[in-house]
Amino acid sequence: MTEPERDKKYWLEEPKNQNKVFYCLLVLCGLLAIPDVVKLFGVLFQTEGNFELKSLLKFYSIYGALCYVALIFIAKWLRPVLLRKEDYYD
């Protein structure tokens, strides 16, 4: 490992560009969600039959984001229970 030297600034290091990446992701997600949104209208405004919760499971985008956030929150919640010092077993 050498001492950190003043090397060239990378494109990704600018906070401005990091924001750009974030907005690109938002736009991409928005585009991907279009089929789901259309489907959602279909479910909400269907003229016959009752609204079924099961049909919501077809919305993979919502499911993906929810699963991920749920996972992180479960982990955060379990952390105080499971966390010990690094040399716990030594």
Partner 1 sequence: MIEGLNPGTILILGALLVPLTSGVIRSILLLVLPILALGQLYALGLGVWGQYEFLGLSIEVTRIDKLSRIFGTIFCIASLIGVIYSLHVKDTVQHFAALIYMGSALGAVFAGDLITLFVFWELTAVTSVFLIWASRTERAFKAGIRYLIIQVTSGVTLLAGVILYYQDTGSIAFEYIGLGSLAGGLVLAAFGIKACFPFLHNWMQDAYPEATVTGTVILSAFTTKLAIYALARAFPGTEILIPIGVVMAIFPLIYVVLVNDLRRVLAYSLNSQLGFMVIGVGIGTELALNGTAAHAFIHILYKSLLFMCMGAVLYRTGTVKTSELGGLFRSMPVTMVFCLIGAMSIAGLPLTGGFVSKAMIMSAAKDYGIVVIWLVLLFARAGVMDHAGIKVPYFTFFGQDKGIRVKEAPFNMLLAMGIAAFLCIFTGVYPAFLFSLVPFEPTYDAYTAGHMLTSVQILLFAVLGFVLLMRYKIYPLEQPATILDFDWIYRRGLKSLTLAIGRLILVVWGWILGVANGALGAIINVTARTHGDGKLMARTASSGRSIALIVAILGVVVVFFYR
* Binding positions for partner 1, rule: CB under 8 A: 1-5, 7, 10, 12-13, 22, 25-26, 28-29, 32-33, 35-36, 54, 57, 60-65, 67-69, 71-72, 74-76, 78-79, 81-90
**Shortest separation between residue 41's beta carbon and partner 1, angstroms:** 17
Compute CA distances 20 → 5, 61, 88, whole Å: 27, 22, 43
Our CB check for partner 1 shows the closer of 6 and 48 to be 6
**Shortest separation between residue 72's beta carbon and partner 1, angstroms:** 6
Our CB check for partner 1 shows the closer of 46 and 57 to be 57
Query: How far does CA 19 lie from the centroid of its chain?
Result: 16
Residue 90 to residue 88: CA distance in whole angstroms: 6
Helix (H, G, I), strand (E, B) or coil at 58: coil
